[in-house]
Structure 1
């Protein structure tokens, strides 16, 4: 059996060496160790200043963007390759795999008739919106939460997952509450992530806030003893706990929201197309991907269905 902590260290070494790049596609099972499931989101998503679940009606008509993708012969998708079970590079095979990657292949199959006709381009958390706006990718499928502020810059699909904010800490701290985990402590959140935004609005007494480009960097910083806690969304928090048995979830869930696919606001035909893909995938595909990648670390799927 592969050692979970070694997977983290292999990924960390690749980050330091600057080796994490574009490319690859994958399939296969993610053997995450079983553990107590993350606290489930509430039955209602907390109110925001807009309807974060709203998007264009699902429709599959080949407009300008779909025609461009078909002429190119591949869908270019911005992804993560350091989020265990969501989008990560398998250190043994080199393949990029996970729940988000399954969705990316479903989009490619729908648009081009072949799930392999895809370019997986790694983008950092901090660069996701710019990558969409600048046309570097056709879309971002990267555990990206939908917020009203982000909807000013990019278009989102309908939600495909429900999440909340969670705190991850080293087990050696023996922490029981969010306040205990964060007050007076060094807290990490990925730059420009929803967790970073949450900390700017309410630091919860953190003595210092570190904001690296990616959430895996926060896990590495905790392992090195350079930060005391990580704030991230519940999906990635569960991934960190599954990846490294020396850390655990602390305290309650808060700030409930959704995840969606981010696209350029001008690409309305693509947004509507992806929404139809999600209708079909939720009916046939979402559950099997959840069982493969997330069930062992997150438990029953119902709390996370949008």
Structure 2
């Protein structure tokens, strides 16, 4: 337990690093997470508030002002996480930032600039993602960001690149089997300005207390310290936490089905269309599946079909 906690605390500490350099990534073997099968009566609850149909048609055009700005600069600036295991995290052995979302960012850089290495990563806390986009700190964000109608009012999204929802992470010793059992009368934790926080604001499901942290990994640390009983987070991040710490597991049914998208500035319509073309090509050439197999299959299952819907 001490080893796991130390590793998580070290990963959380590197948030302060800020700007991350570009470079190639080399994967580390994943640890399989226990993700219970959903029973028929545990079907996903709640409407899908993803507004994914609002995005622009894909286009390979390179003449738009934002795409030209990126080309002139010579690097794509991407907002990422560096504490989400298998998605965007620092490999402690290599010091490199890597994961599924990082592969996706590199695919955009390759399409726009001809080189997957021409990308500069900036760490962005969950609560600062929209601000980073709107103020031009980054060109785009690939950071397990859920597409929602409220967010569409402030920024734009690409077409969906991953089907998602909300799940609980709990200590294995708690033996939780349903969402209600995991939250009713319990201390819950969510990341600030996350879809999980919005969901518990809408319906607390009987939680006695909701602690809000800067990042979802901080919730895992609080759970290890016995200060919260459960973390509500994105399906993908829930599986990542369970892969990272063998003392916790993903429990209960999936709620609030949604999709992840790449976030961009509303005015950058040419970049939105270009990124949507990248997503079409990324799926068609096998890049999406190869990245899934490398980073996520061990924790989310060998079949990726349900996440491509």
1:124-147 CA-partner distances (Å, limit 9, x unpaired): 000000100110000010000000
Give yes or no for contact 2:36–2:251 (8 Å, CA) kept in 1: no
Query: 1:302 aligned to 2:299?
Result: no
Structure 2 counterpart of 1:58: 58
Structure 1 counterpart of 2:262: 261
Note the C-alpha offset of 1:30: 3.4
Separation (CA, whole Å) in 2 of partners of 1:230 and 1:119: 31
1:121-177 CA-partner distances (Å, limit 9, x unpaired): 000000000100110000010000000111111100000000110000111212121
Structure 1 counterpart of 2:200: 199
- Provide the secondary structure at the position in 2 that maps to 1:249: strand
Structure 1 counterpart of 2:12: 12
Separation (CA, whole Å) in 2 of partners of 1:117 and 1:251: 41
Structure 1 segment 3-82 matched on structure 2, within 5 A: 6-15=6-15, 19-25=16-22, 26-37=24-35, 39=37, 47-48=47-48, 51-61=51-61, 62-82=63-83
Give yes or no for contact 2:31–2:299 (8 Å, CA) kept in 1: yes
- Quickly say closer, same or farther: Cα 1:260–1:89, change in 2 above 3 A: same
1:207-257 CA-partner distances (Å, limit 9, x unpaired): 111111111111111111111100001000000000110101111111100
Give yes or no for contact 1:155–1:262 (8 Å, CA) kept in 2: yes
Structure 1 counterpart of 2:159: 158
Structure 1 counterpart of 2:288: 286
Give yes or no for contact 1:59–1:273 (8 Å, CA) kept in 2: yes
| Greater Cα shift, 56-65 or 23-32 | 23-32
TM-score (norm 2): 0.92
- Provide the secondary structure at the position in 2 that maps to 1:230: strand
Give yes or no for contact 1:166–1:232 (8 Å, CA) kept in 2: yes
1:169-203 CA-partner distances (Å, limit 9, x unpaired): 11121212111111111100000000000010001
Separation (CA, whole Å) in 2 of partners of 1:161 and 1:238: 14
Note the C-alpha offset of 1:5: 5.2
| Greater Cα shift, 277-286 or 3-12 | 3-12
Separation (CA, whole Å) in 2 of partners of 1:38 and 1:266: 42
| Greater Cα shift, 173-182 or 141-150 | 173-182
Extract unaligned runs of 5+ from structure 1: none
Structure 1 segment 177-192 matched on structure 2, within 5 A: 177-192=178-193
Give yes or no for contact 1:45–1:257 (8 Å, CA) kept in 2: no
Separation (CA, whole Å) in 2 of partners of 1:297 and 1:6: 21
Separation (CA, whole Å) in 2 of partners of 1:73 and 1:248: 43
Give yes or no for contact 2:49–2:147 (8 Å, CA) kept in 1: no
- Quickly say closer, same or farther: Cα 1:4–1:105, change in 2 above 3 A: farther
Structure 2 counterpart of 1:112: 113
Separation (CA, whole Å) in 1 of partners of 2:242 and 2:218: 14
Separation (CA, whole Å) in 2 of partners of 1:126 and 1:98: 21
- Quickly say closer, same or farther: Cα 1:70–1:243, change in 2 above 3 A: same
Separation (CA, whole Å) in 1 of partners of 2:13 and 2:204: 30
1:40-83 CA-partner distances (Å, limit 9, x unpaired): 7x999964567324410000222000111111110000000000
TM-score (norm 1): 0.93
- Provide the secondary structure at the position in 2 that maps to 1:219: helix
Note the C-alpha offset of 1:7: 3.0
Give yes or no for contact 2:5–2:224 (8 Å, CA) kept in 1: no
Give yes or no for contact 2:50–2:146 (8 Å, CA) kept in 1: no
- Provide the secondary structure at the position in 1 that maps to 2:17: coil
